[in-house]
Amino acid sequence: MKSIKMGILSAISASICCIGPIILIALGFGSLSLGAVINKYHGAFLTVGILLILFSWIRYIKEKKNCHIKKCQMENKKITLITLIITTSIVSFFLILNFYTYAARPLVVDSFTLLADTKTVLIPVKGMTCFTCEVSVSSALKRVNGVISVRASAKEGIALVNYEPDKTGLSQLIKAINNTGFKASLPE
């Protein structure tokens, strides 16, 4: 039974830094900087998730082996196995999602939709560590009046923004990013 609990905790730990900010954004609390606070510990959450799932499997295998030796019936064997498979899949998904964030192709201005009477700017953003950070920054910028399109990259530490200069400016864009808890600075 402890294997089940550890497996569930591993899935929660591995996903909290990714799902937490998205839930906050969906609930309208994305501008409270909580996502950035959670993402500061991104690596720790993922590491704890991986360690917990490993310990869960080790515990399950030991318990199964002991029952085989003692010729006893393992309690909740099927439920434990199903839970461990599901939680391992969840932990693996978030691990792969994080690798994808850094393996993704770089942002290219040429592939970005450019419209007449708009400006495009690359804003340096510190503190983004994963896909959800990109979502937090992008959604904050999309709420700014005059923003046409946005792409954020944790890998490159930038936000590529296409906006209408008569409706918004660089200071409003930087303010929107900083309100998420990440640190934007003026482009060089």
Rounded to 5°, angle at Cα 181 from 156 and 178: 75
Q: Which residue has the tokens 């391992």?
A: 88
Mean pLDDT within 98-107: 74
Distance CA 96, CA 75 (A): 32
Amino acid, single-letter form, for residue 169: G
Q: Is the pLDDT assigned to residue 1 strictly greater than 90?
A: no
Mean pLDDT for all residues in the chain: 85
The SS3 of residue 86 is helix
User: Angle of helix 77-103 relative to helix 131-142, nearest 10 degrees?
Assistant: 60
Among 177, 117, 183, 118, smallest CA distance to 144 is for: 177
Q: What is the predicted pLDDT for the residue at 31?
A: 58
What CATH number has the domain spanning 109-184? 3.30.70.100
Domain boundaries, the chain: 2-103, 109-184
Is the model more confident about 153 or about 43?
A: 153
Q: What is the predicted pLDDT for the residue at 183?
A: 92
Q: What is the predicted pLDDT for the residue at 146?
A: 94
Distance CA 25, CA 180 (A): 10
